[in-house]
A = this chain, B = another copy of it.
């Protein structure tokens, strides 16, 4: 495994992140070589269209549209092209030919990480993925290495900057979601097609990757209970503020029972006193709770060319060092063999807003429904009563999500209930 000369690096993709990686390889070459123990030689950049305009920092002589040939002459393949195919095939080809891989591809890892991990393991090469979760925030390495002697019980985080920005704008300016989203698109904080962000798919892919690492098991994006932010209203956000909360899109992975893990992405109420409440704009933050370490938080920019390139380069240097000096990073760890469990087994709290007839006895009827489902109530607040109808805002104590969901369904069936206006989980207590 010991290279005699430079380490040959192939770059797949030359968008914002790829261009930044190329720039740093050029400007910091000497420093990177000192850290690796050998020079890093960029041997080619695979792009779809070699004739398209590029940043002048990109050496056009390195461009190629034959990615397959490129990966076969590299020691390390850096993948920042994204997408599922042909990316997966290219990375498997790279691994089979003995190259180590650094990837920022959360969609691919969230969907089919195990195939890649297994291939890398078998070929004895490294597969590094720091950039795939939470941009520049070192999270993968702490989970795979620093906490490897501890037992993680819960991971709770804001891992999508676009939705965090949108919710932040709703809270600050009282906007409806569509208006905040349109504004975010204008400013470039949200893409023209924001589906992957607002529907929670991006966060779900990251949650699957983080859960797999934190709990030493295999979680795919299909195991993640995922609800995006499209149902969050200006009224939800305003009511949250009245009770000292903010609405955040959270990704949560936690142990459930003896051998289960529940992974979920959904909007939730977070108390203003919780450090996650103050994570603003496009920043990301991840809380990790471990038995011995206690509560840890990691905070930083969750996306963007330069931060993602920083994470990619950190991995590239580590992986290249292994080529020069021998050694290998941690492989996929799935000895814990926990099973993904349905969201009904998560223990959480609900805030339920129901619109009811404004007359005596209604609260008693509603309270009866909670009791029938073994759900205890922490607070009830009546709002917006007009003599004809009123809103009850009920916050429960912790209970299994399934029991809470059944309670809400039963509430909806009560004759005195006109509508279930909103249901939000309360997290981070």
Identify the A interface with B (CB < 8 A): 20, 24, 28, 31-32, 34-35, 130, 136-138, 141-142, 145-151, 216, 275, 278, 290-301, 304, 306-307, 309-318, 321-322, 325-328, 330, 333, 335-336
Contacts and interface: CB of A to CB of B under 8 A. Distances in A.
- Which of A150, A278, A311 has the most chain B CB atoms inside 10 A of its CB? A150
Contact of A149 (B151, B313, B330): B313
Nearest to A329: B327
Given A149-B313, A307-B294, A327 B330 contact: no
Nearest to A279: B275
A99 to B, nearest CB: 18
Nearest to A301: B294
A146 B146 CA distance: 12
A112 to B, nearest CB: 24
A347 to B, nearest CB: 24
Nearest to A135: B293
Contact of A299 (B142, B299, B306, B325): B299
Identical subunits present: 2
B150 A146 contact: no
Contacts of A293: 136, 300-301, 306-307, 310-311
B138 A314 contact: no
A268 to B, nearest CB: 20
B148 A318 contact: yes
A306 B137 CA distance: 24
Contacts of A336: 31
A297 B295 contact: no
B313 A292 contact: yes
A276 to B, nearest CB: 11
Given A146-B141, A148-B314, A299-B299, A333 B35 contact: yes
B142 A313 contact: no
A53 to B, nearest CB: 23
Nearest to A142: B138
A28 B151 contact: yes
A306 B325 contact: no
- Which of A130, A145, A275 has the most chain B CB atoms inside 10 A of its CB? A145
B145 A314 contact: yes
A285 to B, nearest CB: 8
